[in-house]
C-alpha cells in the first residue's frame, strides 16, 4: 500500500486538473512525505463518510487546493514530531481536520493558509487523552471566512493572523495548563470568540479596524491577557474566573481605539 501511495503522490502534481477530482487514502507508518496539489473547482480529499486517514511519526504533509468549492476532511490519528501544511486559494473552500484522535501529536506543527472569501476551517486537536502539545499557525486573507479551532491538549500554541472583513473566528483551548494564543486581526466587522479553560493560559492580541466584536473567557487560574486596539466602535467583553485572584488583563487603546467602543471586563472567583 505504501509503495502504491508514494507513486501516486509523486505523479499527481504533474497532472493539470480541471476539477471534480477525488482522493481517498489511508496511510500508517513513520517518515511519510505526502504532497497533493488539486487545481480547479469542486475537488475533494476525503469526505465526512470516507476521510483521508494518516497515522505515524515524523511525517511531512503538504496539501494545496487552488480553486473554488474544494473540500478536505482529514483525520491525523497520531503524528508525533510531524508537520503538515494546508493551503486554500479561492472561495467557499471547506477544510476539516481531526488531529490526535487516538494518539500523541507532541512536537507537531500545522500551518493553514487561506486566501479568498467564505472559506471554512474546522480544526480539532487532542480528543485522545494522550495527545500533548502542538503548534498551529492560521493565516487568513479575505472576507467572510469562518475559523473554528479547538485544542484539548496541554501546552497548545495557537497563532493566527487575519486580514479582511466580516470573518468569524472561534478559538477554544481546553487543556489543563500552559497554552497560548497570539493573534493579529486587521479589518472591520469581524467576530472573535476566545475560550481558555484550565490553568496558566495566555492571550496576546493586536486588533486594528472598526466595529470588531471580541469576546474572551478564561477560567481556572493564573491567566494573562495583553491586547492592543486601534480603531473605533469595537465591542470587547472579557471574563476572567480565578479562585485565587491571580488573573491579569492589560488593554491598550491607541489612536481612536476608544471612540464609540464598549469595553466590559469582569474578574471574579466564580460565576462571572
Residue 165 phi, psi dihedral angles, 5° rounding: -120, 155
pLDDT value, residue 14: 37
With beta carbons less than 8 A apart as the criterion, state whether 268 and 244 touch.
no
pLDDT value, residue 222: 83
DSSP states of 226-270: EEEEEEES-EEEEEEEETT---EEEEEEEEEEEET-EEEEEEESS
Cα(167)–Cα(190) distance, rounded to whole angstroms?
A: 5
Cα(47)–Cα(170) distance, rounded to whole angstroms?
A: 23
Cα(251)–Cα(96) distance, rounded to whole angstroms?
A: 34
Instruction: Provide the grid cell at 76.
Output: 491525523
Segments in the chain below pLDDT 50: 1-17
Average pLDDT, the chain: 84
Q: What b/e readout covers 43-56, taking b as 16+ CB neighbours within 10 angstroms? A: bbbbeeeebbbbbb
With beta carbons less than 8 A apart as the criterion, state whether 76 and 55 touch.
yes
Instruction: Provide the grid cell at 233.
Output: 466602535
pLDDT value, residue 17: 46
22, 28, 31, 32: CA torsion to nearest 10 = -10
Instruction: Provide the grid cell at 13.
Output: 502534481
> pLDDT digits over 198-245, tens only?
888 899 999 999 999 999 998 888 888 999 988 889 899 999 887 666
Amino acid at each position: 500500500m505504501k509503495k502504491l501511495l508514494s507513486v501516486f503522490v509523486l505523479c499527481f502534481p504533474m497532472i493539470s486538473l480541471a476539477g471534480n477530482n477525488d482522493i481517498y487514502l489511508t496511510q500508517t507508518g513513520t517518515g511519510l512525505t505526502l504532497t497533493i496539489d488539486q487545481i480547479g473547482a469542486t475537488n475533494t480529499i476525503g469526505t465526512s463518510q470516507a476521510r483521508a486517514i494518516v497515522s505515524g511519526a515524523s511525517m511531512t504533509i503538504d496539501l494545496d487546493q487552488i480553486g473554488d468549492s474544494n473540500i478536505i476532511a482529514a483525520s491525523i490519528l497520531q503524528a508525533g514530531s510531524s508537520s503538515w501544511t494546508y493551503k486554500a486559494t479561492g472561495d467557499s473552500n471547506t477544510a476539516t481536520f481531526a488531529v490526535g484522535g487516538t494518539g500523541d501529536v507532541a512536537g507537531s506543527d500545522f500551518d493553514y493558509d487561506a486566501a479568498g472569501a467564505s472559506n471554512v476551517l474546522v480544526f480539532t486537536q487532542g480528543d485522545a487523552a494522550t495527545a500533548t502539545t502542538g503548534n498551529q499557525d492560521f493565516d487568513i486573507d479575505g472576507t467572510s471566512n469562518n475559523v473554528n479551532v479547538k485544542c484539548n491538549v496541554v501546552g497548545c500554541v495557537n497563532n493566527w493572523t487575519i486580514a479582511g472583513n466580516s470573518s468569524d473566528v472561534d478559538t477554544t483551548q481546553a487543556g489543563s495548563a500552559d497554552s497560548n494564543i497570539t493573534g493579529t486581526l486587521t479589518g472591520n466587522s469581524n467576530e472573535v470568540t476566545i475560550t481558555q479553560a484550565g490553568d496558566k493560559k495566555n492571550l496576546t492580541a493586536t486588533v486594528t479596524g472598526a466595529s470588531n466584536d471580541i469576546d474572551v473567557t478564561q477560567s481556572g487560574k493564573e491567566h494573562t491577557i495583553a491586547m492592543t486596539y486601534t480603531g473605533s466602535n469595537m465591542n470587547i467583553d472579557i471574563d476572567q474566573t480565578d479562585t485565587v485572584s491571580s488573573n491579569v488583563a492589560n488593554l491598550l487603546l491607541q489612536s481612536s481605539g476608544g471612540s464609540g467602543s464598549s469595553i466590559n471586563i469582569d474578574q471574579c472567583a466564580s460565576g462571572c
